[in-house]
């Protein structure tokens, strides 16, 4: 074995991870090679420095938060098992759509009858993130700049408020389509997370808002107020999404 061949195995030798016969070959080489010995010595000190430093402790509350999340998941698993066959049909539709992926969302378009509000919201959210020009049609945190852009495009008047002081910055807004109707999409940023808040008028006969849900890794929250229906979606955690809801 020469230095060139030994090079890749120095760490493994240091960590006692070489099989016996290869370790013997390495030891023979090291018996007469000063530079490889030096390499190993300096790697030993670097790895020792890292190993001796202490590891970060789990932050307060994370343990409880994880356990709560698991309980919620177990509960919803149990609920869907107890529901009658209707949920099985919905579940298999859902998994078929997930496996078809984004292309389905593009191909199906507004003409599809099978997709639910949640699926359309998720697709619209994902589409808005893929191409940066599609995220906002009007990029501003100022209500007096955003609101006029929507005049004539919507038959209702959402509020465009910036909550930068509370950690939710209004990035801007765009016009989007959910269930064949034009909706306002307010775009907020929280740290590195994008939150899309879809708003439309509460037409008589609309379903009442549902519980917080999770779909394809995104969290969704819905509520109603002042004759408007809101859907917030983000990869942000549900706690912080609820914080945005309470601000709005």
Partner 1 sequence: MWAGVKLKRFERLMLPHMGAAFNVANWLVRNEEDAKDAVQEAYLQAYRSFATYSDNNSRAWLLTIVRRTCFRTLRSHSRFQNVIAFDEALHSTDAESTQTRLSARDGSPEEALLAQSEEAMVWVALEELPSIFREVVVLRDIEEFSYQEIAQIIDAPIGTVMSRLTRARQRLRAVLSARSDERNQL
Only one residue has tokens 């379903």, namely: 207
Contact set with partner 1 (CB under 8 A) = 7-12, 15, 17, 39, 42-43, 45-47, 49-51, 53-59, 62-63, 65-67, 69-71, 73-75, 78, 129-130, 132, 135, 171, 189, 191-194, 217, 235-237
User: Coil, strand, or helix at residue 138?
Assistant: strand
* H/E segment holding residue 172: strand 169-178
> Does residue 171 contact residue 128 with C-beta atoms inside 8 Å?
no
Distance in Å, CB of 47 to partner 1, minimum:
5
Q: How far apart are CA 174 and CA 194, in angstroms?
A: 14
Distance in Å, CB of 113 to partner 1, minimum:
29
Distance in Å, CB of 131 to partner 1, minimum:
9
Task: Please say which residue, 30 or 201, places its beta carbon nearer to partner 1.
Answer: 30
Task: Please say which residue, 7 or 181, places its beta carbon nearer to partner 1.
Answer: 7
Q: What are phi and psi of 197, to 5 degrees?
A: -115, 110
In this structure, the number of other CB atoms found within 10 A of the CB of residue 126 comes to 15
Task: Please say which residue, 161 or 193, places its beta carbon nearer to partner 1.
Answer: 193
Task: Please say which residue, 23 or 202, places its beta carbon nearer to partner 1.
Answer: 23
Q: How far apart are CA 213 and CA 221, in angstroms?
A: 7
């Amino acid at each position: 074995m020469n230095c060139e061949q030994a090079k890749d195995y120095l760490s493994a030798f240091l960590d006692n991870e070489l099989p016996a016969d290869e370790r013997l070959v390495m030891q023979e080489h090291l018996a007469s090679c000063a530079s490889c010995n030096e390499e190993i010595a300096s790697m030993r000190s670097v790895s020792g420095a890292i190993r001796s430093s202490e590891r970060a402790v789990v932050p307060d509350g994370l343990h409880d938060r994880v356990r709560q999340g698991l309980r919620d998941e177990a509960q919803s698993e149990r609920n869907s098992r107890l529901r009658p066959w209707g949920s099985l049909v919905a579940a298999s539709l859902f998994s078929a759509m997930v496996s078809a992926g984004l292309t389905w969302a593009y191909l199906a378009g507004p003409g599809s009858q099978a997709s639910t509000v949640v699926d359309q919201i998720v697709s619209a959210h994902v589409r808005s993130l893929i191409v940066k020009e599609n995220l906002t049609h009007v990029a501003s945190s100022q209500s007096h700049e955003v609101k006029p852009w929507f005049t004539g495009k919507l038959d209702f008047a959402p509020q465009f408020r910036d909550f930068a002081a509370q950690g939710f910055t209004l990035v801007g807004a765009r016009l989007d389509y959910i269930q064949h109707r034009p909706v306002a999409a307010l775009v907020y940023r929280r740290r590195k997370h994008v939150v899309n808040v879809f708003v439309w008028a509460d037409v008589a006969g609309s379903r009442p808002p549902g519980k917080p849900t999770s779909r394809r890794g995104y969290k969704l929250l819905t509520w109603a107020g002042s004759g408007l229906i809101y859907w917030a979606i983000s990869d942000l955690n549900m706690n912080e999404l609820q914080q945005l809801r309470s601000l709005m």
